[in-house]
Amino acid sequence: MLRRLILLAVGLLAAFVLSVAFSAQASAGGNGAGVVRDGGGVCLTADNNGDSWWFSCNLQLVFAPNGVITQHLTGSVIPTGPDLTDSSPLPSQSVTDVTGGPCLVLGGQTLTTVVAGIVTPSGQVQLTCKS
């Protein structure tokens, strides 16, 4: 069964990321891309069965010269989110082959969507998102 994950970046994290993106871009491999890295945030992912997991969110955003945004999010599931709701129990099998859900949403506009992702039984989360 295809499971769909939806990533909801916590509003403050998204605002911080954009402010950093426009004020402190780094060069990526000499190709002129802007790279933003941030650790210590909290994100939420959910499957189409209603399970959801808060996770410690390390992210990397790459702004390519052609305007494409690629976002990588990694982390570990945490028991409770900033709104004091609990994470669902960890899945018994990895949730994989994730596509289509919103990833980075700012001002009600989706900037990136999930193109691949996984939540493992050990609580590891990896998502890749693109514009």
Higher confidence at residue 121 or residue 5?
121
Q: Are strands 26-28 and 6-9 parallel, antiparallel or unpaired?
A: unpaired
User: In the chain, pLDDT over 70 holds for what percent of residues?
Assistant: 75
* pTM attached to this predicted model: 0.75
Which residue(s) pair with 55 in the sheet? 43, 77
Determine the Cα angle at 7 with ends 29 and 83, to 5°. 120
Quick one: pLDDT at residue 27?
A: 46
Number of other residues whose CB lies within 10 A of the CB of residue 48: 14
**Structural domain spans, the chain:** 6-130
Digit-coded pLDDT (tens) for 53-103: 899 999 999 999 999 999 999 999 999 999 999 999 999 999 886 667 888
Number of other residues whose CB lies within 10 A of the CB of residue 1: 5
Intra-chain end-to-end CA distance of the chain, in Å = 26
